[in-house]
Amino acid sequence: MRIDTLLAEATARLLAAGVTDAALDARLLLQHLTGWNRSQMILHAGQPVDEAISVRYQELIARRCQRIPLQHLTGLQEFWSLDFAVSPAVLIPRPETEFLLEQVLAECRQTGIAHALDLCTGSGAIAVVLARELGCSVVAADISEAALRVARENSARHMVTDLVSPVCCDLFAALNGCRPFDLIVSNPPYVAEEEVDGLEPEVAMAEPRLALSGGPGGMHCIERIARAACRHLRPGGWIFLEIGADQGGKAARLFRSTVPGYGRVLVSNDWAGRPRILRARHEP
């Protein structure tokens, strides 16, 4: 079968299964198997497909029709112009978290960050970017040892194992002996528990619920972080949190008035104009 015919048939199957970006996913899966870029795919469009590749491709398309995420089929997700390993043990890094990092770096690049904490690290994407961009040591904490295995793989992939230290713990539970951090960054679970099952099947069925659900209303983990973070931040240190689009007001009130020790509290809107990032400074 010719490549263009194979792609057309795969796109039709994906569309029928409800996959939104069917043509893109069909192409990316074939690129994954062939190692070709987009230009090479166009150049070879009229050529027949190797039988072994065709069989493997049909298997991947069948799995994608079951709404298994594209990234779980390829094992990779591009983030911050880098390829990160992913698995069902971690959230797939998203553009919202790139926005979080842009906000962090804009605030902290000139302040001499030496010691940072990536809380709920998952794939380790935040920890890796902080280490690469700031040259600081980063504790990458997560409650899931399976997630930390992925974070270790990504630290090695991007050659920052000397700067990133994975720690398995529930939020700050194992960090009481650590020296205070200059910076805490977190993409915590913040989806309301009652909304998780209504997410896209690729998310609700394939990504870890532990990393998605923030309990009823979605604020449980954010509240726990707010109440404990000051004890782990040096005076003048910053905390940055990714939050849900409906949580800006609640999160700001939490840091401004409910929990003492924070100042300069600000909620920033993402590229779509939705509240997305909370920042606060430890001012005892």
Write the single-letter amino acid at 262: Y
Please state, in angstroms and rounded to a whole number, the distance separating the CA atoms of residues 225 and 79.
Answer: 25
284 pLDDT higher than 80: no
Please state, in angstroms and rounded to a whole number, the distance separating the CA atoms of residues 70 and 89.
Answer: 15
185 pLDDT higher than 80: yes
When pLDDT is averaged across residues 134-152 and rounded to a whole number, the result is 97
Grade residue 259 by pLDDT with cuts at 50, 70 and 90.
confident
Express each pLDDT in 42-52 by its tens digit.
888 888 888 99
Are the CB atoms for 90 and 211 separated by under 8 Å?
yes
Q: With the CA atoms of 158, 152, 204 and 201 taken in that order, what torsion angle do they form, in degrees rounded to the nearest 10?
A: 50
107 pLDDT higher than 80: yes
Please state, in angstroms and rounded to a whole number, the distance separating the CA atoms of residues 60 and 27.
Answer: 12
Angstrom CA distances, 9 to 4, 17, 58, 72, stand at 9, 13, 10, 22
Express each pLDDT in 81-99 by its tens digit.
999 999 999 999 999 999 9
Q: Which two tokens stand for residue 183?
A: 């910076």
Express each pLDDT in 11-34 by its tens digit.
999 999 999 999 999 999 999 999
- What is the pTM assigned to this prediction? 0.94
pLDDT of residue 57: 94
CB atoms within 10 A of CB 195: 16
Write the single-letter amino acid at 277: I
Please state, in angstroms and rounded to a whole number, the distance separating the CA atoms of residues 122 and 155.
Answer: 12
